[in-house]
Structure 1
């Protein structure tokens, strides 16, 4: 063997060894990549994604995609080679793991959290869409989980509507917390709750919290809404988190209004939605823009607070427009369909 051949052989062996070592190194990062898209005006498992009973509905026409991000699973490790490939791909991003999965979070815990956030986003979308249509949707405070063996256990039930505490009307979950903690441990709190159409008065003796000694009765109050229309949203179980809320709200609005809002066009978007119709920022905006672009969308609705980051997304010929509210989103779609795009703001550089 010549010296040159020997040198090449040694170099090759070293490269192989380095690649092998790199493939075994686990990094504290995860990869974001464009995830699947789902048409909220279409069907899932043979049934309409948006199903409404108790109100007149109207035909829709077009594709309105919610967008998602594929992310490394909480129980998977990221090796150096995979990270390097992701760094080199403009449609993917490498993110510090703790920003996505707090330390100790399991894959099942992450799934449950995302499912809960998805359910909340759907609830908010229903309320926002109906309020946009002029419905009066009052906010209520509900009993959520009741702590086992706490004073409220067996007295209050999940789903009870908290009407008043100690005679004071309740408007928000914080009202309940303030009313209870105003007592000393051992004192009695008087709750009036609505259950199955009847008002019940329940007297509960407080106990002391283990961490700070404040009075508590042992249940979690949450916001709820009295929605007069039965709206069901069926969607792929792979999808979780709050970021589809705005698109759900647009789909509900389109289904409940005469005329096809999209007029046969293909649009997409993302963003949290509040019950008042405010659109909030989300993660993975660039990957969602890439997913919508690859799927052929013409217009992408992005939260205004994500606009700077969205400017770096792979949008191709797709127009990316920032929106602050559900009303903005609907108005943007109407303008785009009408061909009035010159005055629309964009997130493109």
Structure 2
């Protein structure tokens, strides 16, 4: 007669776990990890569409762009349209972003979760980030002035440009600063109506002293800000057409540009009803 298999009896005095108890014990580390994930800050920033600023208008009661020392540079042919520089708003480097914040933002079209290092490269605290952002803005403004004056064949010895844009930082307003300076100088010969022809055009992009336009972050959210504030056209660095195309808000047309001259050519097509380039 063969011996049948059976459960070995527990030793006297030893604890015996039920199936439910075993599962609970195994689940305990997972629960602890979830609790930690909920309450421990994560290395992310939460972003959303920010403010727009008309570089042809005023900010804080003063002109965003003031040009002095050049004949015809004080708005002789005032542009009745708007050139909107766009921004994103982001949590500060010191902000504690936790898992529930990330989950909520993930399911909203007007929010984005980005690695903190992508929003604030270089690390550090809020004070460090503010210093870097301020430096980037000043460098961007100098490059925009140089590129604009080169475009209209003016000398910085004869023209003084002052730029004001409140607390906005970073380099991504460079292209629109340059466009605004050209508009103020009327150097492209646009005449009455200026560069926009009375339209509202928004956009973003860095610029260097030679007039080359570079990529920026947060384009999808910036497009939302542009459409929210009435823009119908959005100038975007040519290299970013692919990533932005499917996320373009209804009623907004993307216009790719690679240089300051290319942006001026695109604006000419917009105001004259010509063949506007697209992504």
| Shorter-chain TM-score above 0.5 | yes
Q: Which residue of 1 aligns with 2:231?
A: 297
**Residue in structure 2 matching 1:233, options 156, 163, 172:** 163
Q: CA deviation at 1:104?
A: 4.7
SS class of match (2:109) = coil
Tell me the matched-pair count. Answer: 239
Q: CA deviation at 1:314?
A: 3.6
- The answer to whether structure 1 residue 31 and structure 2 residue 46 are counterparts is yes
Please give the alpha-carbon distance, in whole angstroms, between the structure 2 residues aligned to 1:115 and 1:227: 25
Please give the alpha-carbon distance, in whole angstroms, between the structure 2 residues aligned to 1:318 and 1:330: 19
Deviations 1:294-327 (A, max 9, x none): 1110110000111111113342111111100011
Please give the alpha-carbon distance, in whole angstroms, between the structure 2 residues aligned to 1:305 and 1:103: 24
Q: CA deviation at 1:336?
A: 1.0
SS class of match (1:337) = helix
Q: Which residue of 1 aligns with 2:59?
A: 44
**Residue in structure 2 matching 1:320, options 238, 248, 254:** 254
Q: CA deviation at 1:86?
A: 1.3
Equivalent runs, 1:279-290 vs 2, <5 Å:
279-290=213-224
Q: Which residue of 2 aligns with 1:84?
A: 103
Matched-pair contact (CA < 8 Å) for 1:101–1:110: yes
Q: CA deviation at 1:19?
A: 10
Q: Which residue of 1 aligns with 2:172?
A: 243
Please give the alpha-carbon distance, in whole angstroms, between the structure 2 residues aligned to 1:311 and 1:25: 36
Deviations 1:176-209 (A, max 9, x none): xxxxxxxxxxxxxxxxxxxxxxxxxxxxxxxxxx
Q: Which residue of 2 aligns with 1:256?
A: 185
Q: Which of the two has greater strand per residue?
A: 1
SS class of match (1:26) = coil
SS class of match (1:64) = strand
| Unaligned runs of at least 5 residues, structure 1 | 1-17, 138-225
Alignment root-mean-square deviation, CA: 2.1
Matched-pair contact (CA < 8 Å) for 2:123–2:129: no
**Residue in structure 2 matching 1:330, options 258, 264, 267:** 264
Larger radius of gyration: 2
| Unaligned runs of at least 5 residues, structure 2 | 1-32
Q: CA deviation at 1:250?
A: 0.4
Moved beyond 3 Å, runs of 4+: 18-23, 101-104
Matched-pair contact (CA < 8 Å) for 1:91–1:313: no
Aligned CA distance change for structure 1 residues 245 and 101 (closer, same or farther; 3 Å): closer
TM-score when normalising by structure 1: 0.65
Q: CA deviation at 1:333?
A: 1.0
